[in-house]
Structure 1
Amino acid sequence: MSISAVPPDDPARELLHVRPGDSDLVHLAIAGGIYTVLVGGDQTAGRYCLIEMRVPPGGGPPPHRHDFEEMFTVLDGAVEFTFRGEKVVARAGETVNIPANAPHFFRNSFDRPARLLCMCTPAGQDEYFRQVGDRVDAPDAAPPPLSAEEQDERRQRAARLAPDYRTDLITS
């Protein structure tokens, strides 16, 4: 009898098949764009999450770092990543991996929208986004108009919750 280093199959976990337009997808207005949680950590036993990001011109998060890996694949358009102070442009078909703990951010510095897939491992970023984002009806919805007070409240909430999700927002 051989002993396998691979654990036995867990029949309680099922195949996940996500389709565009699935009614149970969560669409969130965050950092000027719309983020759709395609696969959440609750569906992967916390191993990873997968998020589609639609980023308008000028959109993107502030500088930050976190204790998990983050990989982006650009599906449409282009995005400028700043990683440890160095800038790199990723275009459709290209992939960028951000190592855990490294300071970074991205910005759509171009004149057309960009669409990215973002995988985080382990999961958790999906839950953070659910806590700080505003729900919208569809991935192509416009972010809700927010007053200056509402924008400030979202920034304060993101900063307050960041440590709970192993994230450090860099303010200087």
Structure 2
Amino acid sequence: MQTSFILNESEGRLPEAYNVLGMPVTLKIAGSDTQGQMSMFWAEYQKNQGPPLHLHNVDETFYITEGEFIFQTGDTRITATAGSTVFVPRNMPHAFLTISEIGKMLFMVNPTGNVEKVFEKLNEFQEMPSIAEVVRVHEELGFKIVGPPLTNE
């Protein structure tokens, strides 16, 4: 049976945030809470952090709460600041780069898919994984790395 819950800013559904390539990502709403329909995450990034260009078979929505980011969706690049919402439909290549000193966002994936599993696998690395290891983890779970992380050039 599903139950309602309230989490404070620093709380998540797991005892610790995932370490996703050196970036802390907190699971706020798990796929198991929504029968696989949605997962929600809170993340805080430092300047020049962001994932490599990738794609997956779930829709993703980002809501920026603090800072400034460059987003690439397909061939389009935009700047997103606090209050911006960025929607990325499934199977569209995308990435972002934090260009302020600190950037914070909520992001959701619909349906849940294997996003939580990818974060769990990346969290298992004790040191920063190689590009080959990142590609392997993504491919094992149906995701695809299609390019490097963004730069501010």
TM-score range, shorter chain: 0.7 to 0.9
Whether the 8 Å CA contact 1:67–1:100 is kept in 2: the answer is yes
| Alignment of 1:79 onto 2:69 | yes
Return the alpha-carbon distance in structure 2 between the equivalents of residues 161 and 30 of structure 1: 12
Q: Which has the higher strand share?
A: 2
Partner residue, 1:4: none
Structure 1 moving runs of 4+ over 6 Å? none
| Alignment of 1:65 onto 2:55 | yes
Instruction: Please point out which of 15, 37, 40 is paired with 1:50.
Output: 40
Counterpart AA for 1:109: I
Return the alpha-carbon distance in structure 2 between the equivalents of residues 48 and 26 of structure 1: 20
Counterpart AA for 2:144: D
Partner residue, 2:136: 160
Structure 1: gaps (5+ residues): 1-11, 136-143
1:165 offset after TM fit, Å? 3.1
1:159 offset after TM fit, Å? 1.6
State the identity %: 20
Partner residue, 1:101: 91
Deviations 1:118-140 (CA, angstroms, capped at 9, x unpaired): 100111312211111259xxxxx
Question: How large is the Cα RMSD of the aligned pairs?
Answer: 2.1
Partner residue, 1:26: 16
Structure 2 residue matching 1:96: 3-state secondary structure: strand
Whether the 8 Å CA contact 2:11–2:28 is kept in 1: the answer is no
Report how many residues are paired: 146
TM-score by structure 1 length?
0.76
Return the alpha-carbon distance in structure 2 between the equivalents of residues 59 and 26 of structure 1: 20
| Alignment of 1:15 onto 2:7 | no
Return the alpha-carbon distance in structure 2 between the equivalents of residues 83 and 49 of structure 1: 20
Return the alpha-carbon distance in structure 2 between the equivalents of residues 25 and 43 of structure 1: 16
Return the alpha-carbon distance in structure 2 between the equivalents of residues 93 and 171 of structure 1: 28
Instruction: Please point out which of 101, 118, 137 is paired with 1:128.
Output: 118
Return the alpha-carbon distance in structure 1 between the equivalents of residues 73 and 4 of structure 2: 35
Partner residue, 2:151: none
Structure 2 residue matching 1:89: 3-state secondary structure: strand
TM-score by structure 2 length?
0.84
- Structure 1 residues 69 and 128, CA, compared in 2 at 3 Å: closer, same or farther? same
